[in-house]
Amino acid sequence: MTGTERRKKLLNLMRESKTPLSGGALGSATGVSRQVIVQDIALLRTEGHSILATARGYLLEEPADTIRLFKVFHDAAATEEELTTIVDLGGCVVDVMVNHRVYGKVSAPLQIKNRRDVQAFLKNLESGKSTPLLNVTSGYHFHHVSAESEEILDEIEDALRRKHFLTEVFPYEQEEIRK
């Protein structure tokens, strides 16, 4: 099992558990030491996962939100409109991902929940030190979007479709984006 696979398993174990899981128990379930689990938990936190360390073990703090993956297409100039469309309807842009034919899946956590977050994100891009990931795939990219209900996600999907941001997921991407 690779480190990435192990961390996915750790997240699944914590999601399924109603009680805290000790580092030793997580280590036994994944075949590594408690120290490796501590390092994995630190990496998961840097990826944006909210994991509490309690006296009895680790707990994953995830809202009861629903999540949907959207494939979108636009140029960098439309980034603000895309993001504000999502957050104004009650969505949180969890991450951005591109599926590059050479580099494979590349993603970054965003956690953009409101217009203030949108403006902070755009300001960071304006610094000129980095460009949006969509630039490496000619505007095509994915977002995991969370919301309080499927109905809100449906509204977001409809709005993105009306603004011509949504695009088709190609057959070769179906398997790749599940990894």
CA angle 126/50/115 to nearest 5° reads 35
Spatial distance between the Cα atoms of 45 and 27, rounded to a whole number of angstroms: 17
Question: CA nearest 133: which of 82, 64, 65?
Answer: 82
**In this structure, which CATH number among 1.20.1250.20, 1.10.10.10, 3.30.360.10, 3.30.70.100 belongs to the domain 3-60?**
1.10.10.10
Tell whether pTM > 0.85: no
Q: Where are the domains of the chain?
A: 3-60, 66-178
Each as own residue / partner, the long-range contacts of residues 61-64 (CB below 8 Å, 24 or more positions apart, any chain) are 62/15, 63/146
Domain 66-178 has CATH 3.30.390.30: no
pLDDT tens, position by position, 81-139: 999 999 999 999 999 999 888 888 898 999 999 999 999 999 988 887 778 888 889 99
> What average pLDDT does range 141-159 have in this prediction?
94
Show binding-site residues: 74, 82, 141, 143
Over 80: is that where the pLDDT of 179 sits? no
Cβ–Cβ under 8 Å, residues 178 and 97: no
- How would DSSP label each residue in 7-43? HHHHHHHHHH-SS-B-HHHHHHHHTS-HHHHHHHHHH
Percentage above 90 pLDDT, the chain: 65
Show binding-site residues for Ni(2+): 74, 82, 141, 143
